[in-house]
Amino acid sequence: MIDGDRSGTFAWSAAEVALGSAPGAAGLLGAVLRLRSELAAHRAPLPDRAVAEDQLDALGRQAVSSSAPDTESLRHSLLLVASALGSVSALSAALTELRVAVEAMALPR
């Protein structure tokens, strides 16, 4: 564990998502996994890394949940992840993918 990195704690697979989940769940889980992987590879210290990891875990839990997605929770988690990582250009493509996946899964307002 380096600098409090907890990247090994997230272990959901696409197969878990397929079991009765909401439309867009596989895309959300894929985006979460990609951003977690890229975040783990980004070894520079980030003051809000733990916040981003916690919110990625929350998004992953929603992706594998069999219940309807909580739109406000999805968007809140995305906002916190974007706030924590938005200034890291190396993560911008993965963060954009996450935003698109959350919007695809979230219900219209």
pLDDT tens per residue across span 26-49: 999 999 999 999 999 999 999 999
More confident residue, 23 or 103: 103
Helices (H) and strands (E) in the chain, counts: 5, 0
- Is residue 101 within 8 A of residue 24, CB to CB? The reply is yes
3-state helix, strand, coil in the chain (%, to 5): 65, 0, 35
Is the CB of residue 60 less than 8 Å from the CB of residue 81?
Answer: no
How far apart (Å, rounded) are the C-alpha atoms in residues 38 and 7? 10
63-77 per-position pLDDT tens digit:
988 888 899 999 999
Residue 104 or 19, more confident = 104
Residue type, 90: A
Domain ranges of the chain: 20-105
The pLDDT assigned to 102 comes to 96
